[in-house]
């Protein structure tokens, strides 16, 4: 796999340049066996991982409430995995962080299904692209513990979580009575699929013969817009089945939406044995959603003339009477007056006859949401014109928790900031609470807990309900030695100055607002001076700051620039070198970009960086050749050759060491690894033992070490992960674990120059992660080779045990054991007793044992050494019935520990 070309699902496409996949298996009806869960690898020291808070940042195309358990809610994203809502914490919990590098495509979630008969069960249909950008096949993930752990059933075709039509759905559905039966609508002509064993195996429904051949743009040779939409939603009529579980009668009536403008809706009345096109249905549109009010016998359908999620010029809303077969056009806007399609569609399960629908593709001046309390006979709007361009809104927007949602804009009426939304394809009323509504946009999840005020002509408040859901694609990161600890370059929302990692920044970069920032740099010896480059239609595409990124101003640009490319700041901030996209080539400037001089000796499109000591030395790389300039970027000469000529390559110069350069990159079918130069790029030495490397960064040196800590997203010893070296690359230690992989992490990485052990990791859709070691040096100041566990001491310890998440029948706990003695531990073995019969399921960063109610947790190979005052942390998922009290006592080596 080569590097994905990153963009989150806000208004762009998360494109990838993957290796060509092999031929697709034939779409036969034979069951596809489930793949067993991969074994965990011993990997990490005691690291804790958190998101740098941004809150949102990308498209949320699906929200799914469980119909039988209150407050059980899931969200799916197009490139950033799936989440479960934690009602107690009012935050989203990520569920797919375990997805690794080789399966990065499984971070795109095309559909979710929550089992109403057994609320512990949840399913996710995953896969990002159906064309060759994603080399892997799709899969259905299944969980019996609400997403804490998963099993996987691979499919013989691809799924498109970030393809056109991803806001339609849901394509995955569980029979509400016989919950071992699931249906999945497939794209690309693969038809309708069914599982009869709770998602373990899947077979094609051969009696369903319309594969859904609508294509957004048949002329698109990339396969992105020209793929067939396929089967786009499945809806059960729960009134036609009985019971729940294995002894239940399967639901007989099932409705299916198809990507076919002439034949959009089909029905089975014999539990999926046979299917017929619904007679009399409207034509000329795609049915984005089909939502059934079984009590009143109405199937509601939201139609658009395109698949979305960005476009749609016309649309309609229809109601189908399931008993009589009557179709009625209940569109809230006459077709002649629409300039948008309809997609978001929801019912109030507590108030029969209340239905809402969104004009998902109304970008200007704002999205629109419609509400009816009489089954669609009449409608009211979220906002209306009073006297154009003035508007009267039924709502107020409070974005104080995520203030950047205003975009720092001052639009002209009738536009507002913040907007009510755009790309509003996910719209759901809580089935247990008529006042609670949530909807997804291209950048966040909004919601209200005052919805019924709408019907009393009283204003209700809409707020972001997105805490914990981090969906940015990260393109570059810098951690200067002073000022803000982190500054980010992001796809779609530009980037931020992060003065507090645990707080949402007040505003993204403005003056100018890039749609995506592609490159960042700061002056090493004058870190208040920064430069960034990025994408912006019409430009400018470069900006400067002299106050550590708090404020920015645009520079001029040379002719021929079409995109951001890469940019570098001299060590003293006195000059800059820019290699933009387009035909301009590499250019240099003194000052802040008021004029540029074309560089010679280096090809257009080269990646550029600066030496971190000499302000006149800059470096470049392109096509396997390393270049250097010693006159401030005006002339470059070729130096080392024979470096990776395929794939993506990133390099950085070490702070405080002139001419010290690390270079990472390559491709699996070519040179791929990590190289080091100490002579300004004249020669490079490849590091042995590093199989692959994609990004390299530097942080504060370990205690007693003279060289900065190195961090890399790499494959070392056959294992993919985030690695640290404290001895200039002689030895490496994996600092993440298999529960924290986040798909693809190859864009950029950096340590923190002020905090030893802290590392910032870029993801493609899960935002910025940062890890901190729980020990002060972790026992590896002389190298990252690790230690073997020995005999633990007795007592002299303190334990904190916290249940961080709990649901019906299951929970997750985090445990930290601290060495309160005056000597180092060489291994530890913690024990406790569960008072209420709880059980340990999966444990990470320790090895679990349980006999009856007694539990032991023994250190892993990498975290057995704990210095005096240091600590080790681990976590686990478990099961409970009745109550789930915290253990009353803990022992270490047979002696009692203090409880923290």
Catalytic residues: 78, 492
Per DSSP, the three-state class of 826 is strand
The dihedral region occupied by 563, where left means phi > 0, alpha psi between -120 and 50, and beta the remainder, is beta
Q: Which among 165, 222, 155 is positioned nearest to 193, based on CA atoms?
A: 155
Say which residue the tokens 């009426």 belong to: 413
Supply the DSSP symbol for 181: -
Q: Which residues pair with 519 in a beta bridge?
A: 533
Residues 567 and 572: their CA atoms lie apart, in Å, by: 15
Residues 248 and 274: their CA atoms lie apart, in Å, by: 20
The dihedral region occupied by 176, where left means phi > 0, alpha psi between -120 and 50, and beta the remainder, is alpha
What separation in angstroms does the CA of 817 have from each of 272, 822, 867? 54, 15, 12
Q: Which among 32, 34, 29 is positioned nearest to 204, based on CA atoms?
A: 29
SS in 3 state form for 314-367? Answer: CEEEEEEECCCCCEEECCCCCHHHCCCCCCCEEECCCCCCCEEEEECCCCCCCC
The structure tokens listed for 14 are: 């998360």
Residues 29 and 19: their CA atoms lie apart, in Å, by: 28
Half-sphere exposure of 509 (CA within 13 A, CB side): 38
Residues 888 and 896: their CA atoms lie apart, in Å, by: 11
Residues 185 and 171: their CA atoms lie apart, in Å, by: 5
The structure tokens listed for 292 are: 């059934």
Per DSSP, the three-state class of 805 is strand
> Where does 41-111 have alpha helices with state H?
none
Per DSSP, the three-state class of 22 is coil
Q: Which among 283, 139, 279, 109 is positioned nearest to 200, based on CA atoms?
A: 139
The structure tokens listed for 548 are: 């550590």
What separation in angstroms does the CA of 90 have from each of 29, 248, 418, 446, 466? 43, 35, 22, 13, 9
Per DSSP, the three-state class of 272 is coil
Residues 126 and 790: their CA atoms lie apart, in Å, by: 42
Q: Which among 523, 486, 412 is positioned nearest to 751, based on CA atoms?
A: 486
Per DSSP, the three-state class of 426 is coil
Sequence-distant (≥ 6) Cβ neighbours of residue 870 within 8 angstroms: 774, 775, 776, 778, 779, 818, 819
Q: Which helix (H) or strand (E) holds 858?
A: strand 854-859
Residues 172 and 155: their CA atoms lie apart, in Å, by: 14
Half-sphere exposure of 362 (CA within 13 A, CB side): 24
Check the CA dihedral 626-632-634-635 and report its sign: negative
Whether 709 contacts 696, CB under 8 Å: no
Residues 612 and 568: their CA atoms lie apart, in Å, by: 10
Q: Which helix (H) or strand (E) holds 759?
A: strand 759-762
The structure tokens listed for 575 are: 């000059």
Q: Which among 32, 11, 44, 28 is positioned nearest to 863, based on CA atoms?
A: 44
Give every strand in the sheet of 839-844, ordered side by side: 839-844, 871-879, 810-819, 797-807, 898-899
């Amino acid at each position: 796999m080569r590097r994905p070309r990153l963009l989150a699902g806000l208004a762009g496409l998360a494109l990838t340049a993957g290796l060509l996949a092999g031929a697709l298996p034939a779409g036969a009806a034979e069951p596809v066996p489930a793949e067993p869960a991969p074994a965990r690898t011993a990997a990490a020291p005691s690291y804790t991982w958190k998101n740098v808070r941004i809150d949102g940042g990308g498209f949320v195309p699906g929200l799914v409430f469980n119909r039988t358990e209150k407050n059980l809610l899931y969200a799916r994203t197009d490139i950033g995995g799936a989440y479960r809502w934690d009602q107690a914490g009012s935050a989203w919990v990520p569920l797919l962080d375990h997805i690794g590098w080789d399966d990065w495509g499984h971070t795109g979630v095309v559909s979710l299904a929550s089992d109403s008969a057994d609320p512990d069960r949840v399913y996710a249909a995953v896969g990002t692209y159906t064309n060759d950008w994603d080399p892997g096949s799709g899969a259905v993930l299944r969980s019996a513990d609400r997403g804490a752990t998963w099993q996987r059933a691979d499919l013989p075709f691809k799924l498109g979580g970030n393809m056109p039509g991803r806001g339609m759905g849901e394509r995955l559905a569980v029979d509400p009575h016989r919950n071992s039966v699931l249906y999945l609508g497939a794209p690309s002509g693969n038809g309708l699929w069914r599982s009869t064993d709770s998602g373990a195996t899947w077979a094609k429904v051969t009696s369903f013969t319309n594969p859904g051949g609508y294509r957004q743009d048949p002329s698109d040779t990339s396969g992105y817009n020209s793929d067939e939409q396929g089967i786009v939603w499945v809806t059960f009529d729960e009134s036609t089945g009985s019971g729940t579980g294995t002894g239940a009668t399967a639901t007989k009536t099932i409705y299916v939406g198809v990507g076919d403008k002439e034949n959009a809706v089909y029905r089975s009345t014999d539990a999926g044995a046979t299917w017929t096109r619904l007679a009399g249905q409207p034509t000329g549109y795609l049915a984005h959603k089909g939502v059934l009010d079984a009590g009143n016998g109405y199937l509601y359908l939201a139609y658009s003339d395109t698949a979305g999620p960005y476009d749609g010029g016309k649309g309609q809303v229809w109601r189908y009477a399931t008993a009589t077969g009557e179709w009625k056009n209940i569109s809230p806007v006459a077709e002649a007056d629409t300039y948008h399609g309809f997609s978001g569609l929801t019912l109030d399960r507590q108030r029969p006859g209340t239905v809402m629908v969104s004009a998902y593709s109304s970008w200007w001046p704002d999205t629109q949401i419609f509400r009816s309390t009489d089954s669609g006979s009449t409608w009211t709007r979220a906002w209306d014109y009073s006297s154009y361009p003035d508007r009267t809104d039924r709502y107020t927007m409070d974005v104080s928790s995520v203030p950047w949602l205003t975009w720092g804009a001052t639009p002209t009426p009738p536009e507002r900031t913040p907007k009510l939304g755009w790309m509003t394809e996910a719209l759901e009323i809580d089935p247990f609470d008529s006042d609670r509504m949530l909807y997804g946009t291209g950048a966040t999840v909004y919601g209200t807990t005052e919805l019924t005020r709408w019907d009393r002509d009283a204003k209700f408040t809409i707020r972001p309900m997105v805490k914990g859901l981090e969906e940015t694609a990260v393109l570059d990161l810098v951690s200067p030695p002073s000022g803000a600890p982190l500054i980010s370059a992001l796809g779609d929302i530009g980037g931020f100055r992060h003065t507090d990692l645990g707080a949402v920044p007040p505003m993204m970069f403005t003056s100018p607002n890039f749609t995506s920032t592609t490159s960042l740099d700061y002056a090493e010896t004058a870190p208040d001076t920064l430069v960034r480059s990025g994408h912006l239609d019409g430009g400018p595409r470069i900006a400067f700051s002299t106050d550590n990124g708090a404020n920015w101003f645009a520079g001029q640009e040379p002719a021929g620039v079409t995109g951001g490319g890469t940019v570098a700041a001299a060590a003293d901030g006195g000059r800059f070198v820019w290699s933009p996209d387009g035909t301009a080539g590499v250019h240099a400037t003194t000052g802040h970009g008021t004029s540029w001089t074309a560089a010679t000796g280096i090809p257009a499109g080269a990646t550029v960086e600066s030496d971190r000591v000499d302000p006149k030395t800059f470096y470049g790389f392109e096509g396997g050749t390393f270049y250097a300039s010693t006159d401030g970027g005006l002339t470059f000469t070729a130096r080392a050759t024979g470096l990776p000529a395929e794939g993506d390559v990133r390099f950085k110069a070490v702070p405080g060491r002139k001419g010290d350069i690390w270079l990472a990159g390559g491709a699996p079918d070519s040179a791929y690894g990590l190289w080091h130069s100490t002579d300004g790029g004249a020669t490079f030495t490849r590091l042995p033992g590093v199989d692959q490397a994609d990004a390299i960064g530097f942080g504060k040196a370990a205690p007693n070490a003279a060289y900065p800590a190195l961090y890399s997203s790499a494959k070392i010893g056959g294992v993919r992960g985030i690695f640290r070296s404290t001895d200039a690359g002689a030895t490496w230690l994996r600092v993440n674990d298999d529960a924290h992989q986040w798909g693809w992490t190859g864009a950029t990485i950096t340590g923190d120059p002020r905090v030893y052990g802290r590392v910032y990791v870029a993801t493609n859709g899960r935002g910025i992660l940062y890890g901190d070691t729980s020990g002060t040096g972790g026992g590896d100041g002389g190298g990252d080779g690790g230690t073997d566990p020995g005999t633990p001491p007795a007592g002299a310890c303190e334990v904190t045990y916290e249940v961080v998440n709990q649901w019906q029948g299951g929970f997750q706990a985090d445990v930290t054991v601290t060495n309160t003695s005056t000597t180092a531990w060489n291994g530890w073995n913690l024990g406790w007793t569960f008072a209420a019969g709880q059980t340990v399921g999966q444990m990470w960063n320790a090895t679990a044992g349980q006999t009856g109610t007694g539990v032991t947790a023994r250190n892993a190979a990498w975290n057995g050494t704990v210095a005096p005052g240091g600590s080790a942390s681990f976590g686990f998922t478990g099961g409970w019935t009745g109550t789930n009290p915290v253990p009353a006592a803990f022992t270490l080596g047979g002696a009692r520990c203090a409880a923290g």
